[in-house]
């Protein structure tokens, strides 16, 4: 059961909201996934922590790479549009969720919204699978990037070392397996506060290093021209848009709002304000400084530009510190995006009538979550191509979930007059980003085909 009546007597920590209308006396029990993973106990501050970790992730370190396909004007415009549209669309989702809660149906999951607004088939066969792909893909990408950062640290201290990338991915995956056992989304609130501080730390370090290298004679000759023939440049633009969409992507707004203790009105907006202060600070500083320093030589992970022919362009301790900050935050990001998977596993294997930490629930929880992390770690080790994974997730997942569905949900729920500006603004966003998403999906697949020659399972890139 995905929605709940906020006026019925809830079990285990889900409180009533006396201001909502009565919808009958029938009590709706929560399934194990909603009961144990999506506990509604948090404040708007905790919501801000969760939002920041889910959006401000090390994927932002690929923004200078996206800029090299867009140039200065295109890069800055896309970054601004991404910020405006996602902040707007996340607020629309929050308003829809608040409205449904006031009607007696507090929706805890993205697929619940699709079921109630679009029909059960949309939730089961479209939104649910896309959200699962997005969230699990984010776990894979986090594990891969964590392994890459660990390998960078290893090569700094041992340039001729023989350890391969997949070995570091496995080490990071083992760390993730431990963190995956944290029982609920709400339990991550303190970890996500640390994550917020960490993302600020590695963004400041990255920006400072880029400025230092850009002003140094050690840096490369700056070239901001967009290379390639017209076809390559066109598809590069849409591939870059998909990367930016991934960077701004969230995909778990309903699940995050589900962690807020009722009444929820206005709390999500405050959390989003906290989050977007960090978004604007980190995204623009890293993107602009990284592209300014490295131009069209920007790597898919800007940290790779800090080494030139195996030689560090900034002090080694500085690179080491930046990578450590990144690794630590990646673990928090990975665990956040595991929550929808954990919720499904808990709903499938858990028993809501037994205690959360009873043997009946603890054993299936440990086994299922461990298997989930093993699978994601194996995929990350097999396909170590971060930029391509980023683009595919953005094109097929984040653009539909974060740019298109929110405006559709709002129009169908509130039915604004066709003469109103908000109606046509939402229609324009839906049409434009549907078109962009389709082309970006083609561009992402095309890039994978072009890079296929360098693809090799368990490659040591």
Which domains, ranges and CATH numbers included, belong to the chain?
3-18+28-230+246-388 (1.10.4160.10)
Instruction: Label residue 221 exposed, middle or buried (CB < 10 Å: 0-12, 13-18, 19+).
Output: exposed
pLDDT at 458: 66
DSSP 3-state assignment of 350? coil
What mean pLDDT value characterizes the chain? 86
Contact call for residues 29 and 256 (beta carbons, < 8 A): no
Instruction: Label residue 48 exposed, middle or buried (CB < 10 Å: 0-12, 13-18, 19+).
Output: buried
Beta strands at 106-107 and 307-308: parallel, antiparallel or unpaired: unpaired
Ranges of residues in the chain whose predicted pLDDT is under 50: 1-27
pLDDT at 160: 80
Instruction: Label residue 248 exposed, middle or buried (CB < 10 Å: 0-12, 13-18, 19+).
Output: buried
From the list 117, 46, 33, 7, the residue with the least C-alpha distance to 268 is: 46
E strand or H helix that includes residue 27: none
| Cα-based distances in Å from 121 to 105, 112, 125 | 19, 11, 6
User: DSSP assignment of 93-132, as one string?
Assistant: HHHHHHHHHHTT-EE-SHHHHHHHHT-HHHIIIIIHHHHH
pTM to 2 decimal places: 0.87
Q: How far is it, in rounded angstroms, from Cα 42 to Cα 57? A: 22
β-bridge mates for residue 42, sequence order: 260
Q: CB neighbours (10 Å) of residue 353?
A: 11
What's the pLDDT tens digit per position in 398-435?
888 999 999 999 999 999 999 999 999 999 999 999 99
Q: How far is it, in rounded angstroms, from Cα 155 to Cα 163? A: 9
């Amino acid at each position: 059961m995905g929605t709940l009546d906020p006026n019925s007597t809830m079990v285990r920590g889900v409180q009533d909201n006396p201001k909502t209308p009565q919808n009958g006396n029938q009590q709706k029990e929560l399934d194990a996934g909603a009961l144990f993973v999506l506990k509604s106990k948090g404040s708007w501050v905790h919501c801000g922590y969760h939002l920041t970790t889910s959006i401000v992730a090390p994927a932002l370190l690929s923004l200078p790479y996206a800029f090299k396909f867009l140039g200065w004007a295109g890069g800055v415009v896309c970054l601004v549009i991404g910020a405006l549209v996602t902040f707007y669309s996340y607020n629309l989702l929050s308003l829809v969720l608040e409205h449904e809660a006031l009607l007696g149906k507090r929706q805890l999951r993205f697929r619940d919204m699709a079921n109630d607004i679009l029909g059960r088939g949309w939730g089961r066969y479209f939104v649910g699978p896309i959200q699962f792909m997005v969230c699990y893909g984010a776990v894979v990408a986090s594990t891969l990037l964590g392994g890459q950062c660990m390998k960078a640290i290893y090569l700094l201290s041992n340039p001729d070392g023989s350890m391969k990338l997949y070995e570091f991915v496995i080490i990071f995956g083992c760390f993730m397996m431990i963190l995956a056992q944290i029982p609920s989304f709400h339990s991550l609130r303190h970890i996500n506060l640390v994550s917020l501080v960490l993302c600020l730390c590695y963004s400041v370090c990255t920006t400072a290093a880029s400025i230092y290298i850009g002003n140094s004679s050690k840096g490369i000759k700056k070239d901001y021209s967009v290379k390639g023939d017209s076809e390559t440049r066109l598809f590069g633009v849409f591939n870059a848009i998909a990367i930016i969409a991934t960077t701004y992507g969230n995909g778990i707004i309903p699940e995050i709002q589900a962690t807020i203790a009722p009444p929820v009105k206005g709390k999500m907006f405050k959390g989003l304000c906290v989050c977007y202060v960090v978004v604007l600070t980190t995204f623009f500083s890293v993107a602009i400084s990284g592209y300014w320093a490295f131009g069209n030589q920007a790597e898919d992970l800007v940290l790779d530009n800090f080494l030139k022919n195996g030689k560090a362009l900034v002090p080694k301790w500085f690179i080491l510190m930046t990578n450590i900050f990144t690794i630590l935050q990646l673990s928090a990001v990975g665990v956040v995006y595991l929550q929808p998977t954990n919720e499904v596993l808990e709903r499938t294997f858990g028993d809501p009538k037994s205690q959360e930490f009873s043997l009946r629930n603890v054993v299936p929880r440990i086994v299922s979550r461990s298997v989930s992390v093993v699978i994601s770690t194996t995929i990350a080790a097999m396909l170590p191509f971060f930029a391509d994974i980023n683009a595919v997730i953005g094109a097929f997942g984040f653009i539909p979930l974060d740019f298109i569905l929110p405006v559709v949900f709002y129009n169908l729920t509130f039915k604004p007059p066709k003469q109103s500006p908000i109606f046509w603004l939402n229609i324009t966003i839906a049409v434009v980003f549907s078109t962009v998403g389709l082309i970006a999906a083609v561009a992402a697949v095309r890039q994978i085909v072009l890079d296929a020659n360098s693809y090799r399972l368990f490659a040591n890139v």
